[in-house]
C-alpha cells in the first residue's frame, strides 16, 4: 500500500491519499475535507489509464469533480499509482522528500 499527503496550502486543505494494487486496478481512497475532492475520494483506476495525460482516468475524474486546473491532488494520486505499479520506487520517493512549488 502506498500513501502520500498532499498539502494544498493555497486552498487550505490537507489530503491523505491511500492506494493499493488490486488485480489490474489501483484502488484509491482519499481522506479530505474538500467538497470537490470528496467527489473523487474513492476510485478504482485501471492501470493502463494512468500513463498518459490525455486519456487519463484520474484527470477525467478531476474534471468531472470540477477541480481547478492547479489542484495538486490528481498529481498526488498519480504518484501513488506509479508507486503501486512499480514505476516509482517508494524508497526513492521517501528519500527524495517533498515535491513543492515555491512562490
Q: What is the DSSP code string of 13-37?
A: EEEEEEEEEETTEEEEEEE-S-HHH
The CB density around residue 44, as the number of other CB atoms within 10 Å, is 12
Q: Which of 37, 34, 56 is nearest to 45 (CA)?
A: 56
Q: Would you give the DSSP letter of residue 79? A: H
Q: Is the pTM of this model over 0.95?
A: no
Segment 45-56, tens digit of pLDDT: 999 999 998 889
Cell 512562490 belongs to which residue? Answer: 103
Residue 102: burial class (beta carbons within 10 Å; 0-12, 13-18, 19+)? exposed
Which pLDDT band, with edges at 50, 70 and 90, does 102 fall under? confident
Amino acid at each position: 500500500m502506498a500513501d502520500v499527503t498532499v498539502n494544498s496550502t493555497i486552498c487550505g486543505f490537507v489530503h491523505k491519499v491511500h492506494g493499493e494494487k488490486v488485480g489490474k486496478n489501483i484502488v484509491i481512497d482519499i481522506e479530505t475535507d474538500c467538497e470537490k475532492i470528496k467527489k473523487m475520494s474513492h476510485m478504482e483506476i485501471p492501470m493502463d489509464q494512468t500513463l498518459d495525460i490525455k486519456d487519463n482516468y484520474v484527470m477525467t475524474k478531476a474534471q468531472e469533480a470540477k477541480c481547478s486546473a492547479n489542484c495538486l491532488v490528481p498529481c498526488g494520486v498519480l504518484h501513488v499509482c506509479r508507486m503501486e505499479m512499480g514505476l516509482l520506487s517508494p524508497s526513492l520517493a521517501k528519500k527524495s522528500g517533498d515535491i513543492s512549488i515555491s512562490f
